Structures are given as structure tokens and as C-alpha cells.
Amino acid sequence: MHKVNVHADRALRQFFATLVLGASILATAQAQELSFTLHEQLVIGDDEEAPSEYLFYFPEIVRTDSQGNIYVKDALSADVRVFDANGRYVTTVGKRGEGPGELREVFGMHVDGDDRLIVADRMSRRLTIFTDMGKSFATKSLAEDGRTIQPRPILSLDNSFVLTYVTLFANPEGGPSIKDDRVLHTHDTDFNRLETFAQLDDIYDLDDPFLNAYSTYSSAMNVATNGTDTIVLSPYVYDGYIYRYTRSNDMWVMEKLKGGPVPKRSFMPVSEKDIDTNPDVKRGAVMLSGPTGTYRARIFSRSDGVAILSTGEILHFPRRTPLKQDFEPRAELFNQNGDLVGYGQLLFDNPELNGNARVMESIRIQWIDTADRLYLARKNGEGFFVLSVANLEISSK
């Protein structure tokens, strides 16, 4: 068996990838079943006796800087915690409040190429840009034409930024809000908007009431970029396709990339009674309210993250969530041409973790750094969320 580790340098990875896939498979672009193994290098938050700075409710947004420091926005906090590359707590940036440098509701967070920490605060309607780990800061309004934008995520892109959000306009006739039909927005380094692209109805079937309502939620899409000319978007309700946008001749060109096998249907509508009375339905249910009503659905196929490797290959992390079985985290590998190379179950090298359904159901891929290390949120054996840093090994079966 030949193996490829995404932590290896580019030349070795390309060589090993050829060994793994074989010339005939490369020639025909025929996807095969692969093994995807997570080798954890660091876990933060696993010691319940540790100081509170090390413990998480849910590590919601994760970024890294040029020194390897790890920035974490916890779901219940209005600040950003910083850990060094070895997982030691360094400092906390920001605090809850309405004054300068204070935060109310962190909706997006990013660290740019200059190691500036950029925090989007929905309630205060502003971006706060911290330098030197919070020792100084500047602010920028999040409002455009009187509307508040709610970016999640924020990513660096070739001396600019790409923000993901759907804008809702007030309906002049007094009915439901009017939805903007584009989801990706580039901004310059001063966060002035440059362009808007990616049609919402390319990604979600807006004729379906549940998908139409869900498409505006911050969790509806996972986004990754190579930092220059490529953006990949995976819809949370995953029907077997992800979307790649490539900059070409001053335009963004969209490609629809077909992934591995998925369930015949990605979700089914359910009632409030179904959720209340059937634990199997409740486990994978999404409930949301909008101006046109309340919607509930049981998800069978979802996306838990997407990443672009330093080689230009794409990693996607779908999950099967059947009614009567354990949830199954999976991975898909696409080559630079956008062809599916292979797919398979995502596992740890630790059998104890693999045998714990609570752990395996909780995995969410939150970030990938320049060395292709994955940062993922997962539960530990006691049911508390931790932040895991892992190398991913990909091998043929």
C-alpha cells in the first residue's frame, strides 16, 4: 500500500499521489475508494481541570497566523482566544461591550497575511481590526446603503478579502424580505466592496421552501480559498456537488464538481411532532424560522467543511446521517482539474475515538493552515467539545 500525507512537501505529494492512484486511474479520472486517516498532533480543551481559557463550549471559528498561533472564537464568547503553536494560552483579544475595541456578537473572524485579527460584530454593525494581538485596533462600518452585512466566513484573497453573506432588502410592498441572489463578495484591504458574484440559485433550489429559507443562514455554506484566484463553496445540505469559482480574464467562472455517492435524497421535510417524538429524526433535524414561516427538515447528507490544499487539490468533508445508523463522516479528494480522485470514510488513527459515536458525529472541519494541517472541532469521550489539530493521511485501500 502506498500512502500520501498532506503534510509532505509538494513535490513528494505529487509523486506519491501518482503511486496511490495509478496511471490508469489518472488517465480515466475514475474515482476510487480511499482511506482518510486523521493523526492528531494537538488537542486543546481536553482537560476539564484546566483553567477556563482552555475550555470551549464550541470552537466556532478558527484561524492561524504566520507564527503558528491559533485564534479561536468560542460560540458563547464575545472575544477571541489566542494559543501558541503548542496549544499554550497566550492572550484574549477583545471583551464584551459596546465601547471601542469591545465586541457584542462576533459573527465572523479572520487573520490576514499581516497577522491582523479582523472581527465582524453583527450587533455593533462594524468590523474591528486588531493589530499586535489586540494592542491596537481600528474600526470599519459593516453597513452598506443602510443595510447591515453579516459575513461568515471572511477569507484572504490576493491583497483583498472574500466575504460570504446574503443580503436581505426590505420589501416596499410590506411582504417578506427580498433576497439578494449573490453570496460571494470581494472587498479591498480597507473593506470597501469591489464585486459580487456566485448565484444563490446555482447552489440551492430556491423553489423548495426549506432550502429557500435555509440558504440565507450563516451555516448554509462552507467556503475555502487558495488565497489567490480560486474559491470553493460546499452547501451544508449536500446533494453530491460542490462549486469552484476561478478568476479568469477579470471574471469569476463557476464549475460544478461532482462528488462521491450520496443518499437518494439529501433531506426530507418533517413536522414538529416528528422531531418531538422520534429521536432518530431529531438527531439530524434542522429547524428554522423566516418571514414566510417555520421550516423543519431531517438532513440525510450534509457538508462539514471544505479545504484547498497547497497543491491545489480540494478536500471536501461530507457526512451521511441515516435515520437508523450512526452518522458517518467521510472525505472526498478532487484533483486540480476538479475531477473526483477518490472518497471514503474519515477516521482517526485512534480506535477509541473511532468507536465512540458521540465523537464521530461531532466532527466539524474549521480551518486548514499553510502546512495543510486540519483544525477540527469534535467532542471528547465525556461529551465536551475540544479543538483538534491533525495531519491527514490519504491512502489506497
Task: At 274, give phi and psi (nearest 5°).
Answer: -55, -45
pLDDT of residue 18: 36
pLDDT band at 146 (very low <50, low <70, confident <90, very high): low
Please report, as a single letter, which amino acid is at residue 280: D
pLDDT per position as a tens digit, 335-349: 999 999 999 999 999
Cα–Cα separations (whole angstroms), residue 301 to 26, 262, 277, 330: 28, 7, 22, 11
pLDDT of residue 268: 97
Count other C-beta atoms under 10 Å from residue 184's C-beta: 24
What does the alpha-carbon distance between residue 199 and residue 180 come to, in Å, rounded to a whole number?
A: 9
Least confident window among 23-27, 84-88, 223-227: 23-27
Q: Which residues pair with 39 in a beta bridge?
A: 391
Query: Would you say 283 and 250 are in contact if contact means Cβ atoms under 8 Å apart?
Result: no
Exposed e or buried b per residue across 354-381, where buried means at least 16 C-beta atoms within 10 angstroms of its C-beta:
bebeebbbbbbbbbbbeebbbbbbbbbe
267-296 mean pLDDT: 92
pLDDT of residue 29: 55
What does the alpha-carbon distance between residue 343 and residue 252 come to, in Å, rounded to a whole number?
A: 27
**Closest by Cα among 54, 132, 122, 139 to 93:** 132
Query: Would you say 258 and 243 are in contact if contact means Cβ atoms under 8 Å apart?
Result: no
pLDDT of residue 361: 94
374-379 mean pLDDT: 98
Mean pLDDT taken over the chain: 89
58-81 mean pLDDT: 96
Longest dimension (CA), the chain: 64
pLDDT of residue 17: 39
**Closest by Cα among 134, 251, 273, 265 to 205:** 265
pLDDT of residue 21: 37
CA angle 211, 217, 219 (to 5 degrees): 100
Is the pLDDT at 272 greater than 50, yes or no? yes
pLDDT per position as a tens digit, 159-185: 899 999 988 777 888 777 778 889 999
Question: Quick one: CA dihedral 10, 14, 20, 26, positive or negative?
Answer: positive
pLDDT per position as a tens digit, 31-54: 999 999 999 999 999 998 999 999
Please report, as a single letter, which amino acid is at residue 310: S
